[in-house]
Amino acid sequence: MSIAVEDTTAPSLSARRVRKRFGAVQALDGVSFDLNPQEWLGLLGPNGAGKTTLMSSIAGLLRPDEGEFELFGQRVSPWASSRARALLGIVPQEIALYSLLSSRENLEVFGRLHGLTGPDLYQRVKWALGWTGLASRADEQIGGFSGGMKRRLNIACAVLHEPRVVLLDEPTVGVDPQGRRKIWHMLDELRNNGAALIHSSHQLQEIETTCDRVMILDHGSLLASGRVGDLADTLAAGLKTVTIFFNRPPDSLDLGEGFLIQGRIGEGSVRDAGRELPDLLARISSAGLEVVSLEVSTPDLEAVFSGLTGTELRD
C-alpha cells in the first residue's frame, strides 16, 4: 500500500531552517539538510545534541517553532498530514511493542493503525515475519524474546505500510554483534526496496559501516555533513595519523609537537608522511629503541566527531 510520490527527482526529505526551543534550551537551531532517495544517512551527536528532537519533529510528534519539512518536494505539516504519516516510518529507540501480544498480533495491531486491512494486512504481516526471521515464533508472546528479536520486530512494525522514509532511533542498541549484522542486512534490504533511511546511533563503527553519509549534530546545530571518508579528509585537512609500536617503553623520547607516548605506543599526526617519517625514525633510533610496527592512517569518524564536538560520543 505504498503511497505514490509526485516528484521522484526531489529529495525524499528536506529540512529547512528548523528551530525548536524548550525553555532556555535551543534544541534545534536552524537545521537544514536533504535526504536523497534510497540514501542511508547517519545522524551522530552527543546526548542532548538534538537528535531525538529532530526525529520527533520530522515524525510530526513535535511542532517546530520555525522552519519546515518537505517530503518529495511537497511542503508538509506532519502534525496533521495523513500523507506524511503514510510516507514515514518511525522506529523508536524503545522497544515500543505490546509485550503481552505475540509477534503476529503486534504486527497486525500496528499494520491496522497504519491503515492496512484484509489481504494487504495478511500479506504484509507474512512478509514481516519472514523478513525478521520470526515466522517460527509468530504466535508466541514477545515478552520472552531476546533483545535482537524484539529489535527486529520493533523495526518491522514501523515499515509494514511500506514507508518511503524510515527514521531509526538507535535501532540496534543492546543487540549483540551478530544480531546487529542481521539488522543491518534488513535495513539494507529496505533501502534496496526504495526507502531512504535516517539512522541515529551512538555506534560510530555502525555508522561508518552502514551509512552513505553522516550528519554531526551538536547543541541543536548541524556541525558537518558528508561522506564519512570525505568528512575526515576535509576536517583533517590532509593530516595522517601515525601509530608506532616500540620494542620497549622509552626512557626519554621526543617525537615532536602533538605526539603522545604511552607505554610502548607513540601516536600523533603528520601532514607529509613521506618527508616527516624518516626524521621520526631517526629520533627513535637515537633513543636506543626499535620499531616493532608502524601504521599511517586517515583519521576515523571518532576523531572527526571528537574534533568537531570536543567531546567523546558517550559523554
Partner 1 sequence: MIWTIFRIGWLHLKRDRVALLLTFALPIVFFSIFAVVFSDLDTDHLEALEAVLVLEDEGTTGERFAALLEQEPALLTHRLETGDGRALREIAAEQVQERLVDVGIVVPSGFADRLSDSSSEAPAVQVLADSSNPLAGELASGILNAVTVRLTFEELGMIDEASGGEALDSPFSFETIDVVGDDEDKSAVAFLSAGIGVMFLLFAVSGRSGILIDEKESGVLRRVLASKLSLGQLLLGHWLFLAALGFLQVTVMFVWGWAAFGLDLWTAKHLTGFVIMTAVSAAAAAAFGLFLASLCRTRIQLAGVSAVVILVMSALGGSMFPRYLMPEGLKKLGLLTFNAWALDGYQKVFWYETGLADLKPQVLVLVAVTLVFLLATRMLASRLVRDS
Does residue 93 belong to the site contacting partner 1 (CB under 8 A)?
A: yes
Using rule CB under 8 A, residue 125 touches partner 1: no
Does 20 contact partner 1 by CB under 8 A?
no
Beta strands in the chain (DSSP E): 13-22, 25-35, 40-44, 66-71, 74-76, 88-91, 165-169, 196-200, 213-218, 221-226, 240-246, 260-262, 265-270, 291-297
Where does 42-117 have alpha helices with state H? Answer: 51-59, 82-87, 103-113
The answer to the question of residue 1 lying near partner 1 (CB under 8 A) is no
Q: Is 303 helix (H, G, I), strand (E, B) or coil?
A: helix
Regarding 98 and contact with partner 1 (CB under 8 A), the answer is yes
Minimum distance of partner 1 from residue 28's CB (angstroms): 16
Q: Say if CB 205 and CB 44 are below 8 A apart.
A: no
Under the criterion CB under 8 A, does residue 183 sit at the interface with partner 1?
no
Binding to partner 1 by residue 296, rule CB under 8 A?
A: no
Q: Break the chain down into helix, strand, coil percent, rounded to 5.
A: 35, 25, 35
Q: Does 69 bind partner 1 (CB under 8 A)?
A: no
Q: 90: which residues sit within 8 A by CB, 6+ positions away? A: 55, 59, 158, 166, 167
By CB under 8 A, the count of residues binding partner 1 is 23
Name residues contacting partner 1, limited to 143-182 (CB under 8 A).
Answer: 157-158
Sheet holding 240-246, edge to edge: 260-262, 265-270, 240-246, 291-297
Least distance (Å) from partner 1 to the CB of residue 258?
45
Location of C-alpha cell 615532536? 256
110 near partner 1, judged by CB under 8 A = yes
> Which residue, 96 or 287, is less far from partner 1 as judged by CB?
96
Question: Min. distance of Cβ 210 from partner 1 in angstroms?
Answer: 23
**Residue 195's CB: how many other CB atoms inside 10 A?**
23
Among 4, 6, 82, 257, binds partner 1 (CB under 8 A): 82
Q: Which of residues 35-64 bind partner 1 (CB under 8 A)?
A: 56, 59-61
**Binding-site member from 88, 121, 168, 304 for partner 1 (CB under 8 A):** 88
Judged by the rule CB under 8 A, the positions of this chain that interact with partner 1 are 56, 59-61, 82, 85-86, 88, 90, 92-99, 110, 113-115, 157-158
